Amino acid sequence: MRRIFNLSFFIFLFTSGFTWAATVTQAIKMDYFGYRTADTKVAIFTTNPGASVEIRNTADTVLFTIPTDGGSIASKGADTPSGDNVWWVTFTPFNAPGTYRLYVPSWASQSYDYEIRDAIYNAIVRPA
């Protein structure tokens, strides 16, 4: 009976549209406080992201693909202090307010969530 339940549960998960969250990677460095809509938006990658990086919302829907929809992926070579090879992923053209994550298809990994909104720094400045 238990095997039938386990099998039924997994069939339900795979047929219900349930998706597993991608692994969060430490190879993406960015402003996790967030960005204002008009800000220059750059993430630093310490591993080659490959041909594209996606901006996804919290429902895991792809909203913007870098560089196809705009932005750029540029190798910057070795960083002198750390010795890491770095890539700059620029996504300035994406400016819609909301909560997002960067997803790297070639790694099947993502950043932590971050926000884009004009008053993003107001709450941080008050205690300071």
- How confident is the prediction along the chain (128 residues), in pLDDT tens digits per residue? 555 545 454 444 444 444 557 999 999 999 998 999 999 999 999 999 999 999 999 999 999 999 999 999 999 999 888 888 999 999 999 999 999 999 999 999 999 999 999 999 987 766 76
**Could you give the count of Cα atoms lying within 13 Å of 38 in the half-sphere of its Cβ?**
2
φ and ψ of 28, to 5 deg: -110, 120
Give me the pLDDT at residue 11, please: 46
Give me the pLDDT at residue 19, please: 52
Reported residue count of the chain is 128
Give me the pLDDT at residue 38, please: 97
Place of tokens 């909301």: 98
CA distance 90 to 115: 16
Q: Exposed (0-12), middle (13-18) or buried (19+): which is 97, by Cβ within 10 Å?
A: middle
Give me the pLDDT at residue 79, please: 85
